[in-house]
């Protein structure tokens, strides 16, 4: 039994990066409206440490608006080829602007321009309208650095619970649950 779920996650994530054929950092992000209407989509893990798990998105998107109204989320990593899952639940807060700027600078230029061009989650008249907006932005930033849009933020899920699920024959799965207890963690098992 590991005493630190972050160390266990790092071990599992390293194995997933080595053995999972598709996007080991892909995770399902579940959010909800203030009325409890859930929504889930795939996002990419862009950082993790003892403070939490970080992803980036447009704060004006549906997920951004839901996080602003209900600052809690759940994450799910499913590494099918390894027959493992990790579930994470906790409060969400924006990362600082220095951290967001630093990550934005590592993105491809096309992705940077896309962050400006997309009114994420809003109705789109046609694909051509989006491509035209993108082309206009590419032209206006030609030869210049593309700054991070003010609405493009990083979010950190600070885990209160982390569950490690391992597939076992006959659906007799192993489920290890870590629950935050002050500065440390309490570990227990769950029935499959």
CATH class held by domain 5-107+150-190 = mainly beta
Average pLDDT across the chain, whole number: 95
The pLDDT of residue 21 is 83
Give the percent of the chain with pLDDT over 90.
Answer: 91
127, 171, 175, 176: which is the annotated catalytic residue? 171
The mean pLDDT of 11-18, rounded to a whole number, is 96
pTM for the model: 0.93
List, for residues 53-77, the tens digit of each pLDDT value.
Answer: 999 999 999 999 999 999 999 999 9
The answer to whether 90 and 72 are in contact (CB under 8 A) is yes
Residue 171 appears among annotated catalytic residues: yes
Q: Domain-by-domain residue ranges, the chain?
A: 5-107+150-190
List, for residues 87-138, the tens digit of each pLDDT value.
Answer: 999 999 999 999 999 999 999 999 999 999 998 888 889 999 999 999 999 9
């Amino acid at each position: 039994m590991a005493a630190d779920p972050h160390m266990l996650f790092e071990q599992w994530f390293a194995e997933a990066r080595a053995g999972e054929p598709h996007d080991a950092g892909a995770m399902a992000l579940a959010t909800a409206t203030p009325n409890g209407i859930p929504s889930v989509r795939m996002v990419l893990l862009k950082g993790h440490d003892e403070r939490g798990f970080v992803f980036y998105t447009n704060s004006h998107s549906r997920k951004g608006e839901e996080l602003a109204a209900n600052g809690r989320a759940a994450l799910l990593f499913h590494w099918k080829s390894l027959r493992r899952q990790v579930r994470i639940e906790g409060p969400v807060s924006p990362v600082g602007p220095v951290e967001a700027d630093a990550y934005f600078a590592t993105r491809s230029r096309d992705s940077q321009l896309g962050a400006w061009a997309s009114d994420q989650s809003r109705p789109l008249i046609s694909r051509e309208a989006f491509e035209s907006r993108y082309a206009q932005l590419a032209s206006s930033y030609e030869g210049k650095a593309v700054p991070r849009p003010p609405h493009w933020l990083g979010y950190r899920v600070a885990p209160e619970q982390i569950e490690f699920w391992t597939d076992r024959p006959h659906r007799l799965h192993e489920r290890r649950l870590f629950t935050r207890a002050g500065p440390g963690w309490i570990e227990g098992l769950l029935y499959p």
